[in-house]
Structure 1
Amino acid sequence: MKLAFATLLMLLLSLVSSSFIQTTMAAASGSCGKKCGVRCSKAGMKDRCIKYCGICCLQCNCVPSGTYGNKHECPCYMNKKNSKGKPKCP
């Protein structure tokens, strides 16, 4: 019984995570995807950078130019903070 429950739970978690990844990738595939690709081209953790850049782009409708800095070009992007008070957008 415990094995069946654990298997079901793992299946459910993988289903939820895969749908989240597909949604994030679909959001990043449009103009945000191109802009975030440029923005994150030199990032050490490119997947994470593209994920958060895509989220910020969708919410703010802009991505700063270049691979670093220039956040003054997009105040919404610049002002987004994570739960620890640090910048959310790369």
Structure 2
Amino acid sequence: MKSLSTTLTLLLLLSLVTSSFLQTSMASSAFCNGKCKVRCSKASVKDRCLKYCGLCCEECHCVPSGTYGNKDECPCYRDKVTDPTKKKPKCP
């Protein structure tokens, strides 16, 4: 009986680890990666820019052209904020 519970516990842990890995790897798309590389090419903190650009792209399905500005091309991207009370833009 103890071996069965150990096996079930291991299977449960394995399935949790596998599902979280798959969700992370599927979160980014080639479209977003390419657009965000261009958008963040001149950013001073590229890793942070790529992270937030990728999150915004996945939610909004668009990224404004160029490396800065042009946010009117994508209203969803433009209107994302980190905190509704502070109104700081979330998307680079």
TM-score by length of 1: 0.70
Question: Where do 1:1-90 residues align within 5 Å?
Answer: 23=24, 27-83=27-83, 84-90=86-92
Structure 1 residue 29: Cα displacement: 4.6
Bigger-Rg structure (1/2): 2
Unaligned runs of 5+ in 2: 1-19
Deviations 1:37-75 (Å, cap 9, x if unpaired)?
Answer: 000000000000000000000000000000000000000
Give 4+ residue runs of structure 1 displaced > 2 Å after superposition: 25-29
CA RMSD of aligned residues (A): 2.1
Identity %: 69
Unaligned runs of 5+ in 1: 1-18
The CA distance in 1 between the partners of 2:69 and 2:51, in whole Å, is 18
Structure 2 letter corresponding to 1:65: S
Partner secondary structure for residue 89 of structure 2: coil
Equivalenced residues, count: 71
Does the Cα contact within 8 Å between 1:39 and 1:66 map onto a contact in 2?
A: yes
